[in-house]
Amino acid sequence: MAERMFVQGNEAVGWGALYAGCDGFFGYPITPQNEVTQWFASEFPKRGKVFLQSQSEVGSINMLYGGAAAGFRVMTSTSSPGWGLMQETISHCVAAELPCIIVLVQRGGPGAGSIRHAQMDYISVTRGGGQGGYKNIVLAPASVQEIHDLVQLAFYLADKYRNPTIVLADGILGQVSESVDVKTIDFGPLNEKDWALRGIGKQKDGKCRLINSAAGVLPVPPYPNYISWLRHMDEKYKQMEADELRYETYKAEDAELILIAYGYTARVSKETVNMARLQGLKVGLIRPITAWPFPYDIIREKAIQGCKFLVVVDSLGLLIEDVKIAVESRADVGLVSILDRHLPTDGGMIMPGRVFEEVKRLI
């Protein structure tokens, strides 16, 4: 039974996690996602679940490494500077095949940048930002409902692939409150975590478990050497690419110009599509729900059909690189970027009206 609630985006992270059966949250304060940490601090202990404020984001992610290794559903949340700090151990989590969730509420960068919304971490999120080149499924919600839903999906996918999953939000989505159906979403059965560390007394076969992130130094069964292990990882990434692609198309069937956006700018773009359609302009939207794997094929298909594209993103570009890869020089790709905000301050936003101006110019 769903409960209709009015929930802030940051708090929806908590409700999603709770309904996904999250066991522990480990986090460090950082704006603009402090409500996430505060939500867990007030809601988790009274339900017998673990909340811990770490000594740094480095601490948080290494707590996830431990909690996940012990077989628990664990997560953290941070903003862009904290995301930077976590890269090392996200890479270790991938290597040790430890499922965990990292929610990234993006803010302006680089450096300390601003404490308010932006979408400037796209490349490090989708390419595996730490050492060694790896892949994480990246879920990009565009509404508070979707934050709640995708946090739950993230736990499922993390366990399914034994891999970290990233939920990529932004300061606007974190701060906005929207009406939400709060409920458990069932994604189907998962394998038991018989690889987890519990103490040999609790292992069904009585045998010890060893988890490490250095397959090239101390080979981990069943992979006899480094390359056989890398081959296994490669197959896993390919399976994620084949099976986990998600995107939304909105009025794209007959569109001559397609907007491409994720997160808050996807909402702004949807409004723009509605404005354009009211004036009879054939404009649509493709919204990646997984930023990795990226919906290259549908965009390429549209390019072949002769569509133009307009990327709407609150950064200097970044997302446009994936769109350019998809269209293979077949189509023009325009950009509405952070430079097009309605105010020159950190509080400026990309507004539907500004996007619409660009739509009218391009079509």
Partner 1 sequence: MKNDENTRKKELVCGNPRIWKDPPGAMMYCSGCQHPVIHRIISEVLEEMDIYEEAICILGVGCHAFIQVSWSIDTLSCAHGRALDSATAIKRLNPDAIVFTVQGDGDCLAIGAGAFIGAMTRGERITTIMYNNTNYGTTGGQLAPTTLIGQKTTTTPLGRNPKLEGYPVRAAELAADFEGTVYSARGSVNSPANYKRAKKYIKKAFQKQIDGLGYSFVEVLSACPPNWHLSPVDCIKRIEEEIIPEFPLSEIKG
Partner 2 sequence: MEEKFGSRNDVIMAGLGGMGVLSAGKILSLAALKKYRYVSWLPSYGVEKRGGLCECTVIFSNEEIASPIIDRAQSLIIFEGSQLKAFEPRILSGGIILAESSGMEDGREARDYKIIEVPGLEIAVSMGMGQINNLILLGSYVGVTDAVPPELIEEELEIRYKTRKEVLKRNQEAFRRGIELGRTVEG
How near is the Cβ of 214 to partner 1 at its closest, in Å? 7
| CA torsion angle 307 310 311 317 (round to 10) | 120
Side-chain-side CA neighbours of 37 within 13 Å: the count stands at 21
How near is the Cβ of 62 to partner 1 at its closest, in Å? 3
268 part of the interface to partner 2, by CB under 8 A: yes
Pick the binder of partner 1 from 15, 19, 39, 72 (CB under 8 A).
72
175 part of the interface to partner 2, by CB under 8 A: yes
Among the listed ranges 1-9, 60-68, 252-260, 320-328, the one in contact with partner 1 (CB under 8 A) is 60-68
Q: Which is nearer to partner 1, 70 or 182 (CB)?
A: 70
- CA-CA-CA-CA torsion sign (101, 122, 137, 148): positive
Cα–Cα distances (Å) from 118 to 109, 267, 312, in that order, read: 8, 14, 12
182 part of the interface to partner 2, by CB under 8 A: no
201 part of the interface to partner 1, by CB under 8 A: yes
Among the listed ranges 56-64, 176-184, 230-238, 328-336, the one in contact with partner 1 (CB under 8 A) is 56-64
249 part of the interface to partner 1, by CB under 8 A: no
State how beta strands 308-312 and 257-260 pair.
parallel
Q: Can you give the length of the chain in residues? A: 363
- Cα R_g (the chain), whole angstroms: 21
The DSSP code sequence of 140-179 is ---SHHHHHHHHHHHHHHHHHHTS-EEEEEEHHHHH-EEE
Q: Record the tokens describing residue 277, joined without a space.
A: 């359609």
Q: What are phi and psi of 147, to 5 degrees?
A: -60, -50
How near is the Cβ of 256 to partner 1 at its closest, in Å? 50
Query: First-to-last CA distance in the chain?
Result: 45
- Smallest CA-to-CA distance from 171 within 104, 81, 247 is with 104
Q: Which is nearer to partner 2, 287 or 308 (CB)?
A: 287
Binding to partner 1 (CB under 8 A) within 141-200 occurs at 197-200
Whole-angstrom distance, CA of residue 194 vs CA of residue 90: 22
> Is residue 280 packed enough to be buried (19+ CB in 10 Å), middle (13-18) or exposed (0-12)?
exposed
Whole-angstrom distance, CA of residue 347 vs CA of residue 118: 10
Instruction: Choose among partner 1, partner 2, none what residue 124 binds, the Cβ cut-off being 5 to 8 Å by kind.
Output: none
Q: Which is nearer to partner 1, 62 or 290 (CB)?
A: 62
| Neighbouring residues of 129: CB distance < 8 A, sequence distance ≥ 6 | 83, 84, 87, 90, 121, 123
- Smallest CA-to-CA distance from 80 within 41, 127, 115 is with 115
215 part of the interface to partner 2, by CB under 8 A: no
Instruction: Choose among partner 2, partner 1, none what residue 178 binds, the Cβ cut-off being 5 to 8 Å by kind.
Output: partner 2
Determine the size of the site formed for partner 2 (CB under 8 A): 22
209 part of the interface to partner 1, by CB under 8 A: yes
Q: Which is nearer to partner 1, 112 or 200 (CB)?
A: 200
Q: Which is nearer to partner 1, 86 or 313 (CB)?
A: 86
Among the listed ranges 151-159, 226-234, 315-323, 350-358, the one in contact with partner 2 (CB under 8 A) is 350-358
* CB-CB neighbours of 72 under 10 Å: 19
87 part of the interface to partner 2, by CB under 8 A: no
Binding to partner 2 (CB under 8 A) within 144-173 occurs at 172
Binding to partner 2 (CB under 8 A) within 105-124 occurs at 115
Pick the binder of partner 1 from 34, 213, 249, 274 (CB under 8 A).
213
**Residues making contact with partner 2 (CB under 8 A):** 4, 6, 115, 172, 175-179, 264, 267-268, 270-271, 273-274, 342, 347, 349, 351-353
**Residues making contact with partner 1 (CB under 8 A):** 23-24, 26, 50, 52, 54-56, 58-59, 62-67, 69-70, 72, 74, 88-89, 92, 96, 197-203, 206-214, 218
